[in-house]
Amino acid sequence: MYKLSRQIIPRHLRLSLSQKRFLSEAPDQENDNDVRTRVLLASLKFVPQHGWTTTSLAEGAKSVGLPSTAHGLFPKGGIDLIHGFYAHCNQDLVNHLKTEKEIVQKNMTSFIRDAVEYRLRLNSPFIGNWPNAMAKMALPQNAPESLKLLAQLCDDIWYEAGDKSTDINWYTKRGLLAAVYKSSEFYMIQDTSEDFNATWKFLDRRLKDLSTVGKFIRDTGNMGEQSVDNFFALFEVFKNTIGFNSKRR
């Protein structure tokens, strides 16, 4: 099992590092990135027909006036398309949350809940192909990058919600939110209700459970001699709250 790792850079540090990386890039590298983005976005409309494949990338390249061999910008083929789409949606969410904060004041729970729903809805145009995407992301050779993108997603949501923790809570909050997101994502690909209403109810239940776990974390206080026992107790509680020990709740 892969673990969420602090290898993912916290949001406030990630922004500054991204700016440095951008300033160090040569103009032709920036152009390559622009072309890659154009091909990525153009390829998405071919996913319902061809799936998350090199064929979709080749068709996308041709649709923007490039040779089909431009799919070579995505050397890993379909998984690069999936990861590129995932990263694009994550950035879409960040842009949305920044605008949302300026327009509407929400409490943290509502903010996080709406953020998760918004992000899940970005998958909905490809819901028929998303089980295949999830399966590919879970393959051992693809899982590290997939988990990195999931960790960035959860870090972005907490950061935009106002959380700036740097202690053990940094791990627990993001890990718990990741589990809520993934369990809701799995539920969504099986959901046949109108506008995924059953998924949003499932999400509400998971977030209610998350609040219970959050109280457990606060009650444990600073990690001391019982830190290990507390951690595993927390893990057992959370497994039960998200239905980890059952196929479906």
| CB-CB neighbours of 146 under 10 Å | 20
Question: Domains of the chain: which residue ranges?
Answer: 11-241
47 neighbors 55 (Cβ within 8 angstroms): no
pLDDT (tens digit per residue) in 180-225: 999 999 999 999 999 999 999 999 999 988 776 555 555 544 444 4
Is the pLDDT at 114 greater than 70? The verdict is: yes
Lookup result for tokens 């929400």: 106
- pLDDT score, position 174: 92
142 neighbors 81 (Cβ within 8 angstroms): no
- pLDDT score, position 242: 39
CB proximity list for 42: less than 8 A, separation 6 or greater: 60, 61, 63, 64
- pLDDT score, position 219: 54
pLDDT (tens digit per residue) in 163-178: 888 888 888 899 999 9
Q: For the chain, what percent of residues have pLDDT higher than 90? A: 61
Using only the alpha carbons of the chain, give its radius of gyration: 19
- pLDDT score, position 235: 47
pTM: 0.77
DSSP-assigned letters across all residues of 169-215: HHHHHHHHHHHHHHHHHHHHTT--SGGGHHHHHHHHHHHHHHHHHHH
Q: With bands split at pLDDT 50, 70 and 90, how would you rate the model's confidence at 32?
A: confident
Alpha-carbon distance of 74 to 145, in angstroms, equals 14
User: Which CATH architecture describes the domain 11-241?
Assistant: Orthogonal Bundle (1.10)
- pLDDT score, position 170: 87
- pLDDT score, position 217: 52
